Amino acid sequence: MPNASPLVECIVNVSEGRNDATLAALAAAISGVPGCKLLHQDAGAGANRTVFTFAGTPDAVFAAAYKVYAVAVERIDMRAHHGEHPRIGAVDVCPFVPISGVGMEELVARTRVLGEELGAKLGVPVFLYERSATAPHRQNLAAVRRGEYEGLPARGKDPGWQPDYGPALNPGFGATVLGARPFLIAWNINLAPEVPLDVAKNLAAKLRGSGRNGRPGLFSGLKAIGWRIPEFNRCQISCNVVDADATDLAKVYLTAVSLADSPGARVTGSELIGLIPERYLRRAGKTFCFTGGREAELEAAVAVLGLDDLGAFDWRERVLEEVMS
């Protein structure tokens, strides 16, 4: 759509899910930028992490992202941070996704400008990843995050892992991972409360594309780990669908249901983090919808994936196009 208005989405992951005042300050920083709209806020106390999804013009979205970092530098101290989710810093990862009227190349250039600004003005060590990566070994988030916050002092001594911008070390903030990428679906598959963590980890290894010990998994477009979330009193298979066009959520979910039956585990439903483009949710429900049509397919997807397992789920509040309209 060459004549479409430039529109960019940012899905910033902040290492804070428990302090309401800090979360309110972060939300206000985003909402206070003209031309930028906070679409969704997803906080997890057990993970001690919040995902803020916002969109708008490129100038507005990048200005809002800078303000998020400024608040995080002031209010989040990683030396006291504990949570279930892997993390490398106060703002763990900050991806930018083109929606319309803007190309990936422009976003890559803008992430580099933002990274330089964060390093120079806020003292944040910045690693560029995905399409913005400055070297092949820095493209994968898991590789950049390896060792997490606690491993940063040792990594700072490795010439191959110096930040792209900013100091080698910021003890209070940690570091951040920043870049432009295609859309990603963050989504967790819920296991019954009695299922142990080792079963969750084994199921994740079977599902994810990288597999385990050199043996590939079933879905090449999927990243997954097993973890336990105390607030839900259960384990989850925490998934990132990195190739949403090639990865059907319903197939992944039903495969997990089938695999879980083998070790005597049980899948109870799933949890969507943030927002999802309509086409991916509709595809998950289409095969199971007898009447056809947009709303019927979306309702079927919610039922098939068990998206209301942990609480009420209204697709009208979670489909990207619906929220943006």
Q: Look at residue 2 and tell me whether its pLDDT is greater than 50.
A: no
- Tens-place pLDDT, residues 48-68: 999 999 999 999 999 999 999
Q: Mean pLDDT, to the nearest integer, of 274-283?
A: 93
Alpha helices by DSSP H, the chain? 20-31, 58-75, 104-122, 141-145, 152-155, 197-207, 249-261, 278-286, 294-305, 320-324
Which CATH code fits 7-180?
3.30.990.10
So what's the pLDDT on residue 46? 84
List the chain domain ranges.
Answer: 7-180, 185-324
40 catalytic per annotation: no
Residue range 185-324, CATH number: 3.30.70.670
Asked whether the predicted pLDDT for residue 77 surpasses 80, the reply is yes
Catalytic residue among 40, 81, 82, 85: 85
Residue 209 predicted with pLDDT over 90: yes
Which of the four pLDDT bands, split at 50, 70 and 90, describes residue 47?
Answer: confident
Per the listing, tokens 């043996």 go with 215
Q: What is the pLDDT of residues 86-139, one digit of tens each?
A: 999 999 999 999 988 999 999 999 999 999 999 999 999 999 999 999 999 999
Q: Are 53 and 10 in contact (CB under 8 A)?
A: yes
Note the Cα 86 to chain centre separation in Å. Answer: 11
pLDDT band, residue 324 (cuts 50/70/90): confident
| CA angle, 172 then 224 then 198, to 5° | 95
Portion of the chain with pLDDT greater than 90, in percent: 88
Q: What per-residue confidence (pLDDT) applies to 1?
A: 35
220-230 pLDDT tens trace = 999 999 999 98
Mean pLDDT of the chain: 94
- Going by C-alpha positions, the residue among 118, 123, 137 that lies closest to residue 12 is 118
List, for residues 133-192, the tens digit of each pLDDT value: 999 999 999 999 999 999 999 998 999 999 999 999 999 999 999 999 999 999 999 999
Distance between CA 183 and CA 242 in Å, rounded? Answer: 7
Q: Which residue has the higher pLDDT, 290 or 234?
A: 234
pLDDT recorded at residue 270: 98
What pLDDT shows up at residue 4? 60
pLDDT category at 83 given cuts 50, 70, 90 is confident
Per the CB < 8 A criterion, the answer to whether 131 and 180 are in contact is yes
Q: Cα 219–39–117 angle (5° rounding)?
A: 85
